[in-house]
Structure 1
Amino acid sequence: MRISSTGAPTGFLARPIVILLGLASIVVAAAGIRAFRDTLGPTFLALVLVVTVHPLQVRLRRRGAPGWVGIIAVMATIYTILVGLVVALVASTARLITLLPDYGVQSDNLRNQAAQWLEGLGVQPEQASAMVSRLDLSELSGALQHLLSGLASAGSNLVFLVTLVFFLTIDGDSFSRRLDVAAGSRPLQVGALREFSLNTRRYVAVSSLFGLIVAAFDVFALHLLEIPLPLLWGLLSFITNYIPNIGFVVGLIPPALLGLLEGGVARMLWVVAVYSAINMIAQSFIQPKVVGNVVGLSATLTFLSLVFWAFVLGPLGALLAVPMTLLAKALLIDADPGAQWLRPFLGDTAAEAARGDASTPAPPGRE
């Protein structure tokens, strides 16, 4: 390393330039992922599903089962999960479409009340009528039918996902042994990949547990409020629980709309209040804290990852926000010896505790 006349090292890029190049690389990478998100999104989903269910394959292998038995068991489990997700989304959308026409009279009454309320605030009758005309249920039904057709047109992606799961499951049977071989020369990188797998399974387990609890409370509350199809909306609430921080808002829309049509604004407000009390406390306060402690991500980083991956990968990115952030953390931070100091700032409490233990001076006489 050479030293310039000013005392600064030469032959290296200045730190601001390195930071700008890093940010530019992130922008280019994000744009590239966004351009190919129709392919990369299902690929990431298949990876997360295989990683989550892989312990079943390992457990069967340890019990002496042939390798093909573990492969079939993993694929059957993943395919069951995928079919359940697709059926729940399609059923929720289709059932809501069939229910909305039955509330035509209630919709007209609500629009008339809204127009009268606006006129009472000084809005001209013509303007008030134009504003409430946009609240027609037929337009909402059209939007839901467009969403349903979009789900149906995603069949090609589903075929790609199913095929990719098949090949990933086959490779997963020997991937652990390959990691053991690579660990001899690249222990930090292999450890980062194993930590990603472990944290992904922890995240899915915690989210599933909270999702079941929240869904049970939601079904009970919707039954008391006499909202149609409470079991279906509870299932939707369970699925949206995998979307960090704001997932409950997506699951709230159908029962809140039905509450408005069933019992007016008062019923809708009750649904919103109950959902907010149950889901916001569990998903926005308790669950992020538990997830952060389990997988080593702060609540702020979890929310920012939701925004970033939803922008890059679309709706599937919102569902995979935490696992994708864990993968990026494993590849860019955990696998880099020079970047270990960043782990406590990302919310890794284990790394923070280890750093605190290392910085604690030894007691006298025990050095």
Structure 2
Amino acid sequence: MGDGKASERGRVDRVRLALWLLGILAGAASLWVLQAAASILIPLVSAFFVAVAVAPVGRWVRDRVPRRLSWLGLAASMLLILTIIALFFGSIALVAQRVAEDFPQYADALGKLWAKANHWIQGAKADLTAQAGQGSADQGSGQGNAAPVDPITGFAKAALSSAGQTVSVLVMTVFLSLLMQMEAPVWREKIIITLGRERCRMAVEAVTAIAQQFRRYLVVSSVLGLITGALYVGWLSLFGVDLVLLWGFLAFLLNYVPVVGSVVAGALPVLLTLATQDAGTAMAVAAGLLVIEQVMGNFVAPHMQGKQLAISPLVVMVALLLWSWLWGAAGALLAAPMAVLIAITLNHAEALRPFAIFMSDQSDRERFDAHTRPE
């Protein structure tokens, strides 16, 4: 009798182990597909988030015009998208013009700073090699005299080479979001026919919750970005740092990228200050920017995002690393929205709800459910 129970338990354990292994293999295959199909999935996912972000505008217009003019809702949504794009690229053009005008006077200072840093790095390598007995003093001095690579030129070439690809992805995203909004009612009927009304209701509920949370994330991130950018401009102006509008604009844009964005936004003006002024001023600038990021990130942001879906900070960081690895810069921008999307989707599937709880920083399931249901 005991042997029979032990044998049955052993078979159950083997089945569970096989299921776990299959799950791991399926996850690895999914990651490979996501990376291999990045050129297709990036505009598709971006279009989905754009479509759900502007959907209330189209719905508001459609509810206030005659039925025969319902197309004005779609036109209003697309006009809003094009206006935001125009403002974005217009701001970039103004900043780029300013940078182009002032860049020559900073190129020499930044080049000298890079040369000093490169010389220090090569010297440290030579010292470590000498201590380990793996090199000679001559080799170390030869490395120290090597011509430093100009990072500014390399960055400019990389930016120009990726500009065409960025524009093509943007155009594809706009057209896909237009098609999604046009065919949304048709797809709802298709889901009803294929899956039934109950499953269609659950799917619509999940999409509605995702849309609401994403719009909240977008609004809160935009407000936080504007406040952070204004604080950057004010603090940097006190020390006479050049290109303050550029740094404020970058702080606004990079606010949409969790953790890493604030590091990059703060490091760049500090490097320029170090290259054009003294180390003490650079340290003061860095201290002020660190205080701004800490206050905005640890106090203001949690208060403003109180009604937003609570995703664990650890999960957000892991999502940032994962999607950046899969999709590059686009993945970094989409990391937080994708984490929200995955958490809500998992919470609407009964068998997968435990995974959704792990993604949240809520320990109370009822509170978490309240955050993942449409209002």
What TM-score do you get using the length of structure 1 for normalisation?
0.80
Aligned length: 353
AA aligned opposite 1:56: V
CA 118–246 in structure 1, closer or farther in 2 if over 3 Å, else same? closer
Task: Provide the rounded CA distance (Å) in 2 between the counterparts of 1:327 and 1:175.
Answer: 19
Instruction: After superposition, give the CA deviation of every residue in 1:153-205 in whole Å (9 maximum; x if it has no partner).
Output: 43322322222122123234666788899784124333222211111111111
SS where residue 308 of structure 2 aligns? helix
In structure 2, the partner of 1:361 is none
CA 1:284 to 1:128, structure 2 compared with 1: closer, same or farther past 3 Å? farther
**Residue 75 in 1 paired to residue 78 in 2?**
yes
In the superposition, relative to structure 1, how do residues 220 and 61 fare at CA in structure 2: closer, same or farther (>3 Å)? same
Q: Match of 1:38?
A: 39
Cα distance in 2 for residues equivalent to 1:143 and 1:120: 25
Equivalence for 1:255: 269
Q: Are 1:267 and 2:268 matched, yes or no?
A: no
For residue 156 of structure 1, the aligned residue among 151, 168, 172 is: 168
Aligned to 1:27: 28
CA displacement, residues 105-164 of structure 1 (integer Å, 9 cap, x when unaligned)? 53576578769989999978995795587666x441332232133123433223222221
Q: Go from structure 1 to structure 2 and tell me whether the alpha carbon gap of 1:37 and 1:110 turns closer, same or farther (over 3 Å shift).
A: closer
2:373 — aligned with what?
Answer: none
Match of 2:214 among 185, 200, 220: 200
Please, which runs of 5 or more residues in structure 1 have no aligned partner? Answer: 358-367
**CA distance in structure 1 between the aligned counterparts of 2:186 and 2:284, rounded to whole angstroms:** 53
Q: Which moved more, 1:181-190 or 1:337-346?
A: 181-190
Q: Secondary structure at the match of 2:242?
A: coil
Change (3 A) 1:174 1:208: farther
**Unaligned 5+ residue runs, structure 2?**
128-136, 371-375
Aligned-partner Cα distance in 2 for 1:204–1:229: 27
- Residue range with higher mean Cα deviation, 144-153 or 167-176: 167-176
* Range moving further from structure 2, 207-216 or 92-101: 92-101
Whether 2:365 is the aligned partner of 1:352: answer yes
Give the corresponding residue for 1:365.
none
Give, in angstroms, the shift of residue 25 of structure 1. 1.2
Q: For 1:309 and 1:249, how far apart are their aligned partners in 2?
A: 18
Instruction: Quote how far apart the aligned CAs of 1:350 are.
Output: 9.0
Contact 1:200 1:295 in 2 (8 A): no
Q: CA deviation at 1:52?
A: 1.1
Q: Aligned pair in 2 of structure 1 residues 209, 339: CA closer, same or farther (>3 Å)?
A: same
- Residue matched to 2:245: 231
Relative contact order: is structure 1 or structure 2 higher (C-alpha 8 Å, sep ≥ 6)? 1
Q: Identity across aligned pairs (percent)?
A: 25
Coordinate RMSD, CA, aligned: 3.9
Q: Choose which of 157, 162, 165 in structure 2 pairs with 1:145.
A: 157
Q: 1:316 to 1:32 in 2, by over 3 A?
A: same
1:301 CA displacement = 0.9
Corresponding letter in the other structure for 1:301: V
Task: Determine the structure 2 residue equivalent to 1:214.
Answer: 228
Deviations 1:76-123 (A, max 9, x none): 111222344445556656754654431355357657876998999997
Counterpart for residue 295 of structure 2: 281
How is 1:31-70 mapped onto 2 (pairs within 5 angstroms)?
Answer: 31-64=32-65, 66-70=69-73
* TM-score, normalised by the number of residues in structure 2: 0.78
